[in-house]
Structure 1
Amino acid sequence: MQLGTRWAVGAEPPARLSSEVVAELRSVEAGLPASERGVARWTLTWLEGRPVAELDLGIVVTVDHAGTVVVRHDDQDQSD
């Protein structure tokens, strides 16, 4: 696992992320209550060369082995 960076909801995500991942991050952010915007933070790490962006609220956006962007809650099974 490679450590990455942190940023607040609504801020610009790291440029290294693909447009597909960024679109999913924005989609997740759009569904958050207004009270979480600018407060909740993403943490980006890299696992086997694939991004793993985890929101403080337990939402994870990652890319599976097939290259598909996946959104899940951290309590869901990780079968990729």
Structure 2
Amino acid sequence: MQLGTRWSLGAEPPTGLPEVVVIALQAVEGDLEALPDDTSAWRWTLTWLEGNPVIELDDGTVIRFDPKEDSATITQPAIVMDDDEDWI
């Protein structure tokens, strides 16, 4: 049984994560650097589901590992656009 953990955005991720997951984490964090939002208090949460890491950021971004494909999928939360042109 593996225990999950939490760590701050930008901090070193836990050891034992597949390399492709670490690359996905770095990609998400790199994208967030360009945003004007204050992310200093955001944290990652790692849980293990059937032996595979599932990582969620406080904003709802989720990274899932697929061991068969040795791939990581990033799912970002939907962005609601306040659009005055909703009649189109």
TM-score by length of 1: 0.79
Are positions 1:25 and 2:25 aligned together?
yes
**1:65/1:15 CA distance change after superposition, 3 Å:** closer
In the TM superposition, 1:40-51 aligns within 5 A as 40-51=42-53
Instruction: Look up the match of 1:71.
Output: 74
> Mind listing any 5+ residue stretches in structure 1 that lack a counterpart?
76-80
Alpha-carbon distance between aligned partners in 1 of 2:23 and 2:17, rounded to the nearest angstrom:
10
Alpha-carbon distance between aligned partners in 2 of 1:45 and 1:13, rounded to the nearest angstrom:
13
TM-score by length of 2: 0.73
Please identify the structure whose Cα radius of gyration is greater: 2
Match of 2:4, SS state, is: strand
- Higher strand proportion: 1
> Mind listing any 5+ residue stretches in structure 2 that lack a counterpart?
79-88
- Cα root mean square deviation, aligned: 2.1
> How many matched pairs?
74
**Which stretches of structure 1, 4 residues or more, deviate above 3 A after TM superposition?**
none
Match of 2:24, SS state, is: helix
User: Identity rate of aligned residues, in percent?
Assistant: 49
